[in-house]
Amino acid sequence: MNKSFKKKLLGVFIGAFLLRIILIFTPAHVDIINHVDWGTKLWQYGFKDFYEQIFWGLSWPNQPIASIFLFGLIARLKDFLFNSIMFVNVNVAIFPSFMMPFLEKNLHIILLKLPFVFSDLGIGILIYKVVKDLVKKNTLALLAACFFLFNPALIYNSIVWGQTDSLISFLSLLGLWLFWKDKLFFGVFFFILSLFFKLSLIILLPLLIFMIWQKRRIWLRLLLIFMANIAIFLLFAYPFVHHGNVFTWLWYLYANRILPRQGDMLSGNAFNLWTLFYGIDFSLKENLMVLGMQAKAWGRIIFSLISIIFTLALFLKKKSFDFRNYLQLGIVYSFSAFLFLTNMHERYLYPSLVLLVFLIFLKKKYSRLMIIFIILSFVYLLNLYNLWWMPRFEALVNLLSINNALVPRILSFSNIVLFLILLKEFYYEKKLV
């Protein structure tokens, strides 16, 4: 790597960082206000009693302990920074006091968005490393990182909205890559850590299981690695244990406090199969009867059949299975979950787009995938914008709202078509790089 390319690489990541710092000052989504509330109340209620409280600013906490712990740390950091700045403001005459009202209102929100700024940069670095390692082309690897780092839809999710999807995706994909590269302990550690932040990417767990099967000859080493990681995370969970032992309490936590609080909507504003047929209607629940069976059951059947059939077809077709094939499976699992499972939110297409960035630049002919990625990113941005309307453009609001969500229905159909094209593209590809 020559000095000129190093400057380009550094310039890209500095530019991506500065862009996010500018956008970090955008208004807070209601989800961020939730995170402020949970982080603050963690210290009021204490770790042990946190999940058993009933008094919340907006809604019950429905995220696992790593997310709550992160929000709690940020709440403490906010208090420390604000008090320190206030001390300077009181004791240093030249300090610009006009900043204090702004900081009092916005500092906590800015700090809550910062982890996702760094998660975005982490994914960009990971994309660069993976493409460079597999393709051996620095320029192509940098271009791949740019496609992620400067994608408006992904930036809107992470920085404008301030959602956790980038952090979870970074941890799970880092874990899979490290495991593939035989850094087994840290691979398992980061993948499990992603589940302790949020369960949404448990759909990628089969990828880790398939990799374990490929390395089954070292089963004793793998067993020890998993036992060590489980011990670490049990110790991490211990301060939150409210009753019973750590095993029974974790089961209770997920079964009674986290999963039931995820909601039971037919579609949570996701442009998918259910929005295609029923529009945007939050009064419809996933127990809606469709052809004699609940919509929830239909979604699980369709998702399972697509995932199982494509997995078997790919394994039977490929003489050797490499990391690129795992990326394909990850896209199929995450995209089909978004399209066909019930209670899907608009944000949940995020990992499919990230995985697609990897794959675009690992093919000799990637123009088709790039076109799909660009269209899918545009639809995803509209999906994120729908119902939040930030910033508000009346023409766009009216377009997405007319005729019982006609445009979201059309866009839902386009997502399904793009998914089918991807399935065909993956199955019939002749050669990767």
242, 285: one domain: no
Domain that holds residue 300: 263-433
Same domain, 388 and 431: yes
* pLDDT score at 432: 44
* Judgement on whether residues 252 and 316 belong to the same structural domain of the protein: no
Query: What pLDDT was estimated at residue 433?
Result: 42
Low-confidence residues of the chain: pLDDT under 50: 432-433
Looking at the structure, do residues 282 and 249 belong to the same domain, yes or no?
no
- Given 209, 228, 262, the domain boundary residue is 262
Number of domains into which the chain is organized: 2
Are residues 137 and 199 both part of a single domain?
Answer: yes
Same domain for 201 and 339, yes or no, is no
Based on the fold, state whether residues 91 and 107 are members of the same structural domain: yes
Residues 6+ apart with CB under 8 A from 204: 172, 176, 330, 333, 334, 351
Domain boundary among 207, 232, 262: 262
Chain Cα centroid distance, residue 151: 15
Give the helix/strand (H/E) hosting 12: helix 3-23
Per-residue pLDDT, 365 = 64
Quick one: pLDDT at residue 73?
98
Last residue of a domain, one of 207, 237, 262: 262
Q: Judge if 352 and 284 occupy the same domain.
A: yes
**Pair (252, 311) in one structural domain:** no
Q: Are residues 164 and 78 in the same domain?
A: yes
Q: What is the pLDDT of residues 362-404, one digit of tens each?
A: 876 667 899 999 999 999 999 999 999 999 999 999 999 999 8
Residue 172 sits in the same domain as residue 252: yes
Q: Output the pLDDT for position 86.
A: 94
Q: What is the DSSP string of 336-375?
A: HHHHHSSS-BGGGGHHHHHHHHHHHTTBS--HHHHHHHHH
pLDDT value at position 50? 96
Same domain flag for 301 and 346:
yes
Distances (CA, A) of 67 to 195, 205, 286, 431: 10, 19, 26, 40
